[in-house]
Amino acid sequence: MTDELDIYRRQGFAHTLGIGAAPAVVIVDFVIGFTDPAHFGGGNIGEAIDQTVNLLSLARAKGWPVAHTRVIYADDGADAGAFAAKVPSLRNLTETSELSQIVPELQPITGELLIRKRQASAFFQTGLADWLAYRRVDTVFIAGCTTSGCVRASVVDACSHNFRTIVVTDCVGDRAIGPHEANLFDMGQKYADLMTLEAIKSAT
């Protein structure tokens, strides 16, 4: 790994962006279906949800904007596209399905944005970037699952929208630890800072 890190350093990756003056929290797809390995869960997702409870408490205490996402398809799948064709079981995430409901411990409260999306990124055709910009947000803390999927897509898009993007490393999870760790490494090199919740508390 040392040799691999050396090439990233020589090429100028992994600079830090830091926390700006106006953070927000985006919680990606922490729904019931992702707590159960029989559906979409497994790995360290449960532990990430538990820690995100503390992140959400911090955000509310600080008055930071908070957005939550759910993947939602029509009951008949009429709005499904290539993403759902690649993973057909995603079509089970309908508006009323138990699998698609945000876990009880992270339920949104009044004033927090609830986004329904059909693609991996929290930003793709959702209006999230505009919602954040209206609130003059400059930093996005991202939690959620899966690290290698919807979290990663959201991180890339947050960076593309020129937000300081920070992955809260103990508040993201994946159904398999290998992809989780590999994607954290890669996001930290290219698109985001990596910080634990404790480090964020200390810095804010």
Q: Residue ranges of the domains in the chain?
A: 19-203
Residue 86 CB neighbours (<10 A): 8
Q: What is the pLDDT of residue 2?
A: 63
Q: What is the pLDDT of residue 4?
A: 80
What kind and span of H or E run contains 168?
Answer: strand 164-173
Q: In CATH, what is the architecture of 19-203?
A: 3-Layer(aba) Sandwich (3.40)
Active site residues: 150
- pLDDT-derived band at 194 (thresholds 50, 70, 90) equals very high
What value does the mean pLDDT take over residues 109-127? 97
Tokens for 131? 């919602």
Whether the CB-CB separation of 73 and 33 falls below 8 Å is answered with no
- pLDDT-derived band at 1 (thresholds 50, 70, 90) equals low
Please report, as a single letter, which amino acid is at residue 15: H
Q: What is the pLDDT of residue 180?
A: 98
User: What's the whole-number average pLDDT of the chain?
Assistant: 96
Q: What is the pLDDT of residue 45?
A: 98
Cis peptide before 146 (omega within 30 of 0): yes
Is the model's pLDDT at 197 over the cut of 60? yes
Closest CA to 68 of 119, 29, 10: 29
- Long-range contact set of residues 14-18: C-beta below 8 Å, sequence gap at least 24: 14/188, 14/189, 16/193, 17/164, 17/165, 17/166, 17/192, 17/193, 18/164, 18/193
Report the C-alpha gap between 187 and 147 in whole angstroms. Answer: 10
Tokens for 3? 């040799």
| Weakest-pLDDT range from 5-9, 68-72, 77-81 | 5-9
